[in-house]
Amino acid sequence: MNREQFIATFREHLPAVSKFLVRRVTRDEVDDLASEIFEIAWRKRDEFTEGSELAWLYRIGGFVIANHRRKEAKRGLWLPLLDVDATAPSAENLGLANVSVAEAWAKLKPSDRNILALSAFDGLSVTQLATTLEISANTASARLGRARKRFAEYLNSDLSD
């Protein structure tokens, strides 16, 4: 893939990557991190398969955000969870206005939040989730199913209290 093809292929994904990032980092970090994602995408441009570009960008994005948070942690904010799953948006990131929803979201494990956010807000299919998370499609399906179930349980339990 040459430079022109790269730009033509990834141009349409710029808005999606921006949305992906703005749910997970502060607004003024979006440009820098997006640049980093596309720099990596350029270097690894021969590794992705046609049709999987967006999921592949989200996979890179997960690592870029995780690294970014490690950097922030080193600067004084100790985050106990610094893996890719911990890059899932927090209730604050999502601006969850409903307290019960925010509490249910906060109760989820980072891995559940991550897969649920990728599905519910980034609109990824099971196949794309598998590519993004580097797991098989059936594992992605099962993990998503469990995350949905847990979220519904937490939410309903909170509402019934």
Partner 1 sequence: MNEKFEQDQAIETLRKSAKAVRAPKLDESILETASLSKVKPSLMAKLNLSRRATGFSLAGVAASLAGVAVIAGSVLNPQPTFTLEMGANAPQGSNKSVMGESSDSKVGGLSYWPGAPLEIDYVAGDALSGEAGSGSIYEFVNNTTAKELSASIKRVLKIDGAFVTETYGVETPNGEEKVTYFNLQSGAINVYVTDTNGALNFNYSNQEAWVLGECTKEETSPEMPEMTYCVENAPVKADLPTDKLAIASALELFSGLGFETTAADITVNRSEDSLYAFAPIKVDGKSTGLSWDIAWGNTGKISSLNGYAVDAVKVADVSTISAKATVKRMNDYRWTASGSAELYQTASTISSRMGDDTAANEGKTQQILVVKATEALGIIYDANGKMFAVPSYAMFTENDSYPLVIVSVVDGVIKLPEPIVWPQDGMIEPEVKTGLTD
User: Within 27-56, which residues bind partner 1 (CB under 8 A)?
Assistant: 27-32, 34-36, 38-43
Question: If binding means CB under 8 A, how many residues of this protein chain bind partner 1?
Answer: 81
Q: How far is the CB of 13 from partner 1 (least distance, A)?
A: 9
Closest separation in Å from C-beta 72 to partner 1? 5
Buried residues in 51-87 as b, exposed as e (16+ CB within 10 A)? eebbbbbbbbbbebbbebbeeeeeeeeeeeeeebbbb
Distance CA 97, CA 71 (A): 30
Sign of CA dihedral 132, 54, 109, 144: negative
CB of 152 to partner 1, least distance (A): 4
Contact residue for partner 1 among 52, 107, 110, 121 (CB under 8 A): 121
Told to check if 26 binds partner 1 by CB under 8 A, we report: yes
Q: How far is the CB of 9 from partner 1 (least distance, A)?
A: 9
Residues 60-119 that bind partner 1 (CB under 8 A): 64, 67-72, 74-78, 80, 90-99, 101-102, 104-106, 116, 119
